[in-house]
Amino acid sequence: MDLQGSFHVYDTTLRDGAQQEGLNLSVQDKLAIARQLDELGVGYIEGGWPGANPRDTEFFRRAGTELDLRHARLAAFGATRRAGVPAADDPLVAALRDSGASVVTLVAKSHDRHVELALRTTLEENLAMVRDTVEHLRAGGQTVFLDAEHFFDGYRDNRSYALEVLRTAAEAGAEVVALCDTNGGMLPGWVSEVVHDVIDTTGVRVGIHCHNDTGCAVANTLAAVDAGASHVQGTINGYGERTGNADLVAVVANLELKLDRQVLPSGLLGEATRIAHAVAEVTNVPPASRQPYVGTSAFAHKAGLHASAIKVDPNLYQHLDPVAVGNDMRLLVSDMAGRASIELKGRQLGFDLTDEKELVTRVTQRVKEMEARGFTFEAADASFELLLVEEVEGARPSYFEIESWRVITETKPGDEAISEATVKLHAGGARIVVTGEGNGPVNALDHALREAIGQAYPEVAKFELIDYKVRILDQGHGTDAITRVLIETSDGASSWVTVGVGHNVIEASWGALVDGVTFGLRRHQV
């Protein structure tokens, strides 16, 4: 099945997505993301604007030798020629021609006021700029798509001119004209109406490029497809300027899983969650837990009523099997949990609690009591597993015994503060005393604890604290408030989250640190 010919899935993460506030991609980052997008099976990857900035020019130079794309074609983005300059003589058009990309996506003005006020040229000259640039690039053997910028706003102000821009591009050889909701202000019904009119009036092949300023980017994209668009543009994880672009995974998942339209090579949608999270690691933008389909909370269930139903049939409270997008169902343990939640969570962790009514009741009550004191287990699976093991086996996993710990922070005028922690414990039949330094009290405690335990259990050398969150629970008490700390620890292959609660941040952190090391040792079957 020729998906690139019949339907285009076009990713613009590396160009439009990179305009997101706080997102800064190196050339190496862009190469890494392009490989991930290719594994998802998208048909086109827009690499950036060669000639407009050195980083994108370098990306296309390196892509020719460093990218071995199996599914995607690389697209270069750029503008039509400047007013009054032949396309062959425009240096930015030359950069597109020489980029090595087989596809060029040209952005062109389709809003008459933008032509006159932003380009400061005539409507006739803008049409000539579109026609000349498309023809020039097509003559060189490149496929050309046109992004009609501000199309929907331009259509409302001057329908005939907006449509003429599309006709001009198509007649010059543009394979697709993508209608851009550049300001992101459209709603699905409006998009559908315009796309129907464009196709009926011009007969051009229509694409859609939506921004999310109304929260409707995905819905608007689907409305355009329903009206006849056969080319969709978006970004992984919905990255983009302001509120972002259409989330390409959500668009594709809805098309394939809800509308029975295969738009990716068979089987690759099952990689969506892994790829979305892998790209988030490269961008250093934390994945949105509530992101549709691929978020960690997309198939998470907290209420006891839901858990009771899921025991009978998981689909009673899920719109589809999360495996379809490579995600997992998660049972959250919280003060809202009932017996069914505990049973199902226990089953996920390898404990069959079906006939353990008294045990389940005891665990449920303990969870509710601890959460009333400030603990949370829905985000700290590792701490819950330790609690469950303690109740099932009658004792908490014990690899060491803490004798005492303390931490001191010292500062001198003009110098940075230095923290020093001392940990005394018994492990492996010996009394161990270790002092560790760090750039803060928690960092110092972490170093001292892992160094001490590592003398008895070398596996601890693999453990690393990778995330740390603090929340003040009863802010009305000021500095006397209860503090909750969540710590994520990694062994290089996987990670786990533990929770600690105390009257101060150091006490709470200590509890989470001890749980993190204990869980890690248990996972490594020490």
Q: Do 262 and 336 have their domain in common?
A: no
Report how far Cα 325 is from the mean position of its chain's Cα atoms.
14
Low-confidence winner among 93-107, 281-295, 399-413 (lowest mean pLDDT): 281-295
279 plus 306 within the same structural domain: no
The reply to whether 491 falls in a domain is no
pLDDT in tens, 213-237: 999 999 999 999 999 999 999 999 9
Q: How far is CA 245 from CA 232, 293, 375, 422, in A?
A: 11, 16, 37, 50
How large is the average pLDDT for residues 3-18? 89
| pLDDT of amino acid 369 | 80
Once rounded to an integer, what is the mean pLDDT over residues 401-415? 89
Please tell me which residue, 261 or 345, carries the higher pLDDT value: 261
Between helices 441-454 and 505-523, what is the axis angle to 10°? 30
Q: Can you list the positions of beta strands (E) in 126-253?
A: 143-149, 176-181, 206-210, 231-234
pLDDT digits (tens, 9 = 90+) for 112-170: 999 999 989 999 999 999 999 999 999 999 999 999 999 999 999 999 999 999 999 99
Same domain, 30 and 124: yes
289-295 long-range Cβ contacts below 8 angstroms, 24+ apart: 291/237, 291/238, 291/247, 291/250, 292/218, 292/247, 292/250, 292/253, 293/249, 293/250, 293/253, 293/325, 293/327, 294/249, 294/325, 294/326, 294/327
pLDDT over 80 (residue 172): yes
Question: What's the rounded mean pLDDT across residues 29-58?
Answer: 95
Checking if the pLDDT of 309 tops 60, the result is no
The count of domains in the chain is 2
pTM: 0.71
Residues 234, 105 share a domain: yes
Co-location of 164 and 218 in the same domain: yes
Q: Which of 22, 87, 83, 74 is nearest to 48 (CA)?
A: 74
Q: Do residues 253 and 129 both lie within one domain?
A: yes
Q: Do 324 and 235 share a structural domain?
A: no
Look up the domain containing 271 and give its range. Answer: 7-283
What is the torsion angle, in degrees rounded to the nearest 10, for the CA atoms of residue 93, residue 98, residue 102 and residue 104? -20
Same domain, 185 and 310: no
Residue pair 47/57 in contact (Cβ under 8 Å)? The answer is no
Instruction: Report pLDDT for 301.
Output: 63
Mean per-residue pLDDT of the chain? 89
**Could you tell me which residues come within 8 angstroms of residue 5 by beta carbon, excluding any fewer than 6 positions away?**
none
Whether 95 and 168 share a structural domain = yes
Sign of CA dihedral 488, 493, 494, 498: negative
Least confident span in 29-43, 246-260, 457-471: 457-471
> pLDDT tens across 82-104, in order?
999 999 999 999 999 999 999 99
User: Which domain CATH number covers 268?
Assistant: 3.20.20.70
Predicted pLDDT of residue 336: 47
pLDDT in tens, 324-373: 898 776 665 544 455 666 776 777 777 787 778 888 888 888 887 887 78
Task: Say yes or no: 207 and 90 in one domain.
Answer: yes
From 283, 308, 326, the end of a domain falls on 283
- Per-residue pLDDT, averaged over 273-298, amounts to 85
Percent residues over pLDDT 90 in the chain: 66
Cα–Cα distance for residue pair 68/444, rounded to 1 Å: 45
